[in-house]
Structure 1
Amino acid sequence: MIPGPFLLYIGDKRNPLDIKTSRGLATFRRADCIGELREADNTLTLGLPSMTAEEAVAAGARSLVLGIATSGGRLEEAMIPHVLAALDAGLDIVSGLHQHLSTEPRIRERAEALGRRLIDVRAAPEGLKVGTGAARPGRRILTVGTDCAVGKMYTSIHLADALNARGVPARFRATGQTGVLIAGDGVVIDSVIADFIAGAAEALSPAREDGVWDVIEGQGSLFNPSFAGVSLGLLHGAQPQALVMCHDPSRPHMRGLPHMQVPGIAACIEENLRSARLTSPDAEFIGVSINGSLFDAAAAQDLRARITAETGLPCVDPLVTGMDAVIDRLIARFPA
């Protein structure tokens, strides 16, 4: 696990979805977050104190986390002065971007001169093998989505925590940079060469006979042409017995693709089952998880009821209803 405390970078980002890694750390490792670094005119906040790198070091921070999404996952020129200042102040740099920190000469040279660490979370582990699809023992849940960034990580973490609270042993298996930073281990699956995605999922949730549920964080969506490949690889490699569909009902179109409509939940369930059953013939859905944060309480409750009526599955909002309805179905369908 990358040790805190952290200074979380927001910079000039104004879309909440663009700071989801910083937000994830602020939510699930709050005690390790000292403050946030953002431009003076930026009102987007995680509710943490706004700090310079020097102030964060004085408060005990050890690392600056570049927990934002950028175009193409690249370092932006506006970020460089902040990163250099953080190195000068005594901070290591942690990045979830596709572009590795050491590929920027100014950052690499300053870090080397000062003896600071550059930590890239998006780095595939060595020695991965291609998937085989061979049946293996174990209990596995995979979250999938109607689109990317619809709450698969939040749902997975809340589900694993709720299972453990009910006395059903479970562990969260991270497949994204935010999840890996929160959990302290996992595989950032979009850093893996395509041929090895299924194999990486098999390695992440290997054969086990101890009754522990591996709750595997899904990525992308089979219906999003930008990310469907990683979604399919996870479905095949995870070999899940149980699946949870995640959905953002406020989304007008697929994220970043205004020409693509968000698929209906029923169609998405059908397609995910068809794909999952290549390696897990008896896979089934145990629930639907929505992000209803943009709806008032009554409208969100009505929406959950309609989804349950349409799918026959319990529909929850992890931050509002908790996960009990989904866990009840899981226990009923997969008794110990």
Structure 2
Amino acid sequence: MRLRAPYLLFLGEEASPLKAKTAFGLRDWAPERCLAQLRMPGCGVDLGLPDLAPRAAAQAGARALVIGVTPPGGRIQTGWTAVLREAVEAGLDIVSGLHTPLESVPGLAEAARAAGVALVDVRRPPDDLPRATGRRRSGRRVLAVGTDCALGKKYTALALARAMRGAGVDADFRATGQTGVMIAGRGIAIDAVVADFIAGAAECIAPAAAPEHWDVIEGQGSLFHPAYAGVTLGLLHGAQADALVLCHDPVRRHLVSWPDYPVRGLRDAAGPYVEAARLTNPGARIAAVSLNTSALAEADALQALDDAARTLGVPAFDPLRTPADRVVASILS
């Protein structure tokens, strides 16, 4: 998938950074492609990029407006129509990872054709995905899994792929979400796949490879989430991971936007993940813990990492704060 860069990152009226994962992911992992941000009145998120309107961004060199937020249900908001049309008329492609097809926005497809720009729906899966076979395939795989959504599974996988390559390991990041696909330029947004084919899509994302090759697979959702556990389980089965990295936020007490569901502790979460993973790979194991310590001071973060390592008996790291060398060694062992 080739997206025209640089990008104008659209934040809409979003108030929560947790709902702007696409924008932050692109800023952090593809900064050379991010030119400016576009915020509507009431927006409480700031990427630290210049604020530009579509025409000014186009004049500054932007080639695409990327929708960087995820509103409820993953749907394009009706209040965005005028801004999206303004971007198209300024000569910008529109890139979306939401469930709503861009062509369904009133007047947008016609405006795009008239302006000669593209509407790119990253979340649209291939039409010919197979059912999973469950057969063991060559190569090695590590999958990021989590106690909740929006706590660092993508960042963990990207950081590990980079660290493994830096250690001389033949490793690739495998994207399973819209932001990961935008960063990597390939992959499948697994949560848009019909349920019967989720595991099969995972087999396609991380296919048979050389015996010593490692695929580092981005995780999705959580086994303990009332809305998204089905996606997580299909990905877990199709990935056939040899190693799991359990991602966790040590200060989060309930699932984001689901206050009636407490976040499981590491010990309670590890067992179900290993049991589910062993359906298709009997040797699956927890190799490491990844903590999102962004809300903690340095000393508290280090203590949380030490506690997590002792709890599961594996190395723990924060992909944005601490080295990954011990985690890589544990994955490879």
Correspondence for 1:111: 112
Q: Tell me, in whole angstroms, the C-alpha distance in 2 between the residues paired with 1:242 and 1:330.
A: 6
Correspondence for 2:189: 188
Q: Tell me, in whole angstroms, the C-alpha distance in 2 between the residues paired with 1:311 and 1:29.
A: 33
Cα displacement (A) at 1:3: 2.5
Pair 1:26 & 2:27 matched: yes
Change (3 A) 1:278 1:41: closer
Cα displacement (A) at 1:114: 2.1
What does the per-residue CA deviation read over 1:274-322, in whole Å, with 9 as the maximum and x for residues that have no partner?
A: 0000000011111000100100011111111111111101110111112
Correspondence for 1:94: 95
Following TM superposition, the consecutive aligned residue runs of length 4 or more in structure 1 with deviations greater than 3 angstroms are 40-43
Contact 2:146–2:248 (CA under 8 A) maintained in structure 1: yes
Q: What does 1:151-300 align with in structure 2 at a 5 Å threshold?
A: 151-300=152-301
Instruction: Give the length in aligned residue pairs.
Output: 332
Provide the identity percentage.
47
What is the SS of the residue equivalent to 1:231? Answer: helix
Correspondence for 1:68: 69
Contact 2:142–2:245 (CA under 8 A) maintained in structure 1: yes
Q: Tell me, in whole angstroms, the C-alpha distance in 1 between the residues paired with 2:322 and 2:116.
A: 47
Q: What does 1:307-318 align with in structure 2 at a 5 Å threshold?
A: 307-318=308-319
What does the per-residue CA deviation read over 1:184-217, in whole Å, with 9 as the maximum and x for residues that have no partner?
A: 0001001110000000001111111252100010
Cα displacement (A) at 1:132: 1.5
What does the per-residue CA deviation read over 1:135-159, in whole Å, with 9 as the maximum and x for residues that have no partner?
A: 1111100110001111000000000
Amino acid at match of 1:10: L
Correspondence for 1:11: 12
Contact 2:14–2:42 (CA under 8 A) maintained in structure 1: no
Correspondence for 2:305: 304
Cα displacement (A) at 1:250: 2.1
Amino acid at match of 2:329: D
Q: Tell me, in whole angstroms, the C-alpha distance in 2 between the residues paired with 1:199 and 1:43.
A: 39
Q: Tell me, in whole angstroms, the C-alpha distance in 2 between the residues paired with 1:274 and 1:96.
A: 32
What is the SS of the residue equivalent to 2:290? Answer: strand
Contact 2:4–2:93 (CA under 8 A) maintained in structure 1: no
What does the per-residue CA deviation read over 1:253-290, in whole Å, with 9 as the maximum and x for residues that have no partner?
A: 01111100101111111000000000000111110001
Amino acid at match of 1:18: K
Q: Which runs of 5+ in 1 are unaligned?
A: none
Contact 2:63–2:92 (CA under 8 A) maintained in structure 1: yes
Correspondence for 2:143: 142
Amino acid at match of 1:158: A
Q: Tell me, in whole angstroms, the C-alpha distance in 1 between the residues paired with 2:40 and 2:103.
A: 24
Cα displacement (A) at 1:55: 1.0
Deviates more, 1:100-109 or 1:257-266: 100-109
Q: Tell me, in whole angstroms, the C-alpha distance in 2 between the residues paired with 1:37 and 1:69.
A: 15
Contact 2:7–2:34 (CA under 8 A) maintained in structure 1: yes
Q: Tell me, in whole angstroms, the C-alpha distance in 1 between the residues paired with 2:79 and 2:252.
A: 29
Cα displacement (A) at 1:85: 0.6
Contact 2:91–2:116 (CA under 8 A) maintained in structure 1: no
What is the SS of the residue equivalent to 1:201? Answer: helix
Amino acid at match of 1:29: A
CA RMSD of aligned residues (A): 1.1
Change (3 A) 1:264 1:41: closer
What is the SS of the residue equivalent to 2:255? Answer: coil
What is the SS of the residue equivalent to 2:8? Answer: strand
What is the SS of the residue equivalent to 1:259? Answer: strand
